[in-house]
Structure 1
Amino acid sequence: MRKRKNLAWLFLAIMLISIVATACSSNSSKDTSTNTETKAADGKLDKVRLQLKWLPQSQFMGYYVAKAKGYYKDEGIDIEILPGGSDIIPEQQVNNGVADIGVTWVSSLLKYQSQGWGLTEVAQIFQKSAMLLVSKASSGIKSPADLKGKKVGSWFGGNEYEIYALLQANKLNKDKDLQLVQQDFTMNQLLNDQIAAASAMTYNEYGLLLEAGLKESELNKIDMNDAGVAMLEDCLFVNSDWISKNEDLFVRFLRASIKGWADACADPAAAGKIVYDTDQSVSLEHQVYMAKEVAKLVAPQGFDSAKIGYIDMKAIQQTADLAHKYGLLSKPADLSEKTITSKYWEKATAK
């Protein structure tokens, strides 16, 4: 009898152990499932490094707006915006893998492409040139012809080719008919009458003159677009090897960027504030001024804002022709799909 009781207790113990083990196993499965779902929901973001051409300013406001509003995160991207500077060359940064995507001027990119660098333009953010030659009205310089015999400032370093084109288009010899001098990154030489005309970007240096107390009526300006010698500036480019492995990632980046640029152009005052909060190197007023002027380059009057980032091959061709004609390129540029393509932009903007 005692033996039967012992067997009964043993059987009962085995049953309890089995029930507990089953419950533990079930709970373990639920926990594992929950952890997997949480990890998927969190979603590990893809890292992207964007190299700017210059210091943080409203020239690049679309990217800062997209980051501030979470557009990159919405596309599964952790964006790192790398500031530029006088000693930083975006083409080198992207070519060497320090950055994934870069911002540069089209003429500069063409130069590196002509040297065999595997870089591809993939979007055109600025649709117009921002380059001006500015003079005081008292100088009497109202047209390119009036530059004859004057001192004219240029930053050189690749920024001089529109000036060369302007001069030749107006039958002026850059070496004999006037004196081109090195210009610093302030407007002091013009303010102090050390030069008669200065290079200026519509969104930056021209504003510095106004902030210095000059009125628009006291200034004359020669606009490269009006003179027919404009060369395209800010574009996006990538390493050809990188894009071949990261097409989907770039399309997501571009979609978020275009959204940021659209918002920035629609409300440049808010965009300028976002940039100012990122880096307070200049005043809020100047960042807002820059933002308003940059918006005119990204989405000029009459331009369809749905086409932000669109590559106008006619404008690209003009830039390439001028670059070759005035010595930046030793031979005509290769404008095949290997060096410039709209296919990623088309995917990013597809409905």
Structure 2
Amino acid sequence: MKKWLVLLLSVLLVTGCSSKKETENATGKKQPLKKVSVVLDWTPNTNHTGLYVAKEKGFFKKEGLDVDIIMPGETGADQLVASGKAQFGVGYQEAITQARIQGVPLVSIAAVIQHNTSGFASPVGKKIQSPKDFEGKTYGGWGSPVEKSVITSLMKKENADANKVKIVNMGDTDFFTAVKRDIDFAWIYYGWTGVEAELRNEKINMVYLTDYSDKLDYYTPVLETNEKMIKENPETVKAFLKAAAEGYEFAIKNPDQAADILIKAAPDLDPKLVKKSQEWLSPKYQDDAKEWGIQKQEIWENYAQWMYENKLLDKKLDAKKAFTNKFLPKQ
């Protein structure tokens, strides 16, 4: 479920026009719901549960919104949100950082998960227990420069040689197929692929990024919008986040019920995987933060500095413009 892979699904673009559906305002008078769309980064999974809960339980409607949750097309969520063809999206701190350096006006408005739960996974038989063990192995990724930089930075900490790692593009091949075919390790989210490994009784080793560098504890994923939306429709952004926060808070307190809502919305998903993944992930949405969704400037600065030091950025990021907490309901 990694971010900027090209997806094969088509997308129905929905612009921010009024809907024929209605809700009552504070005076009891019916008003049309405002139609907006939120583009996922990948096929539906437990990173997105709060959005589906907010839709199913009427939290969006209560805030005057008719929200379409749609799949990204070949252009991806970031491009659709940046261009205004979608009002909101599921993005990632690393991608938003790179986008802003290039002048793309994306803004992160909430952290879906407080800490980075991703890492490098491998079957136990590959005997990869630390970055040093990457030497002589084949890594399967999606072709982003950040992959090699992360692998190199982790290996440097153990005086290992990153040049001894072969990097190949996995394409759309899933982790379990790829490690049986032509790779030794890959970058995964434990909350989905790791949990799936548990269900399949396939034992894996994990090398978590956060075990080796605090600077790699960045926000992944996040909810995003664009600067124009913030400037021209701040009340819509506020309403969207209020409902989304309520959805994720419900999922934190009721993982089993929340999983059922996601299964209903995406019936092609494996119900056992959704249930177990939701149980694992729900406590991590808010984790040690005061409230769900809060982001820290130091997290944005630390990761951007790491990217700059690793020559992934041409200039330093103005972190204050890359994210905001002001639309979260309890700020």
User: Fold match, TM over 0.5?
Assistant: yes
- 1:295 to 2:270 alignment: no
User: Distance between the aligned counterparts of 1:324 and 1:173, measured in 2?
Assistant: 21
- 1:101 to 2:82 alignment: no
8 Å contact kept, 2:120–2:208: yes
Higher helix share: 1
What residue number does 1:137 align with? 124
**TM-score normalised over the length of structure 2:** 0.84
8 Å contact kept, 1:46–1:76: yes
What residue number does 2:57 align with? 69
Q: What SS does the aligned partner of 2:129 have? A: coil
Per-residue deviation, residues 219-251 of structure 1 (Å, max 9, x unmatched):
221111122233321112221112111111211
Instruction: Decide which of 265, 274, 281 is 1:278's aligned counterpart.
Output: 265
Instruction: Decide which of 298, 302, 308 is 1:318's aligned counterpart.
Output: 302
What residue number does 2:12 align with? none
Distance 1:261 1:82, change over 3 A: same
Q: What SS does the aligned partner of 2:140 have? A: strand
Per-residue deviation, residues 189-236 of structure 1 (Å, max 9, x unmatched):
45416322222211222233233332xxx3221111122233321112
Question: Aligned letter for 2:156?
Answer: Q
8 Å contact kept, 1:164–1:326: no
Q: Measure how far apart 1:40 and its partner are.
A: 5.5
Distance 1:329 1:222, change over 3 A: same
What residue number does 2:330 align with? 349
User: Distance between the aligned counterparts of 1:245 and 1:198, measured in 2?
Assistant: 41
Question: Aligned letter for 1:341?
Answer: T
What residue number does 1:19 align with? none
- 1:309 to 2:267 alignment: no
Q: What SS does the aligned partner of 2:160 have? A: coil
What residue number does 1:231 align with? 218
Question: Aligned letter for 1:96?
Answer: S
Per-residue deviation, residues 311-350 of structure 1 (Å, max 9, x unmatched):
12222222212222233322221213x33222222xx214
How many correspondences in the alignment?
304
User: Distance between the aligned counterparts of 1:223 and 1:112, measured in 2?
Assistant: 25
Question: Aligned letter for 2:221?
Answer: D
Q: Measure how far apart 1:256 and its partner are.
A: 1.0
What residue number does 2:207 align with? 222
User: Distance between the aligned counterparts of 1:271 and 1:162, measured in 2?
Assistant: 34
Q: What SS does the aligned partner of 1:290 have? A: helix
Q: Report 1:325-344 matches (<5 A).
A: 325-336=309-320, 338-344=321-327
The structure whose Rg is larger is 1
8 Å contact kept, 1:122–1:342: yes
Unaligned runs of 5+ in 2: 1-23
What residue number does 1:15 align with? none
User: Distance between the aligned counterparts of 1:291 and 1:165, measured in 2?
Assistant: 31
8 Å contact kept, 1:154–1:183: yes
User: Distance between the aligned counterparts of 1:141 and 1:114, measured in 2?
Assistant: 35
User: Distance between the aligned counterparts of 1:197 and 1:90, measured in 2?
Assistant: 27
Q: What SS does the aligned partner of 2:327 have? A: helix
Q: What SS does the aligned partner of 2:115 have? A: coil
Per mean C-alpha deviation after superposition, the further-off stretch among 289-298 and 107-116 is 289-298
User: Distance between the aligned counterparts of 2:159 and 2:318, measured in 1?
Assistant: 29
User: Distance between the aligned counterparts of 1:51 and 1:158, measured in 2?
Assistant: 24
8 Å contact kept, 2:136–2:165: yes
Per-residue deviation, residues 99-131 of structure 1 (Å, max 9, x unmatched):
011210111011111111122222222211121
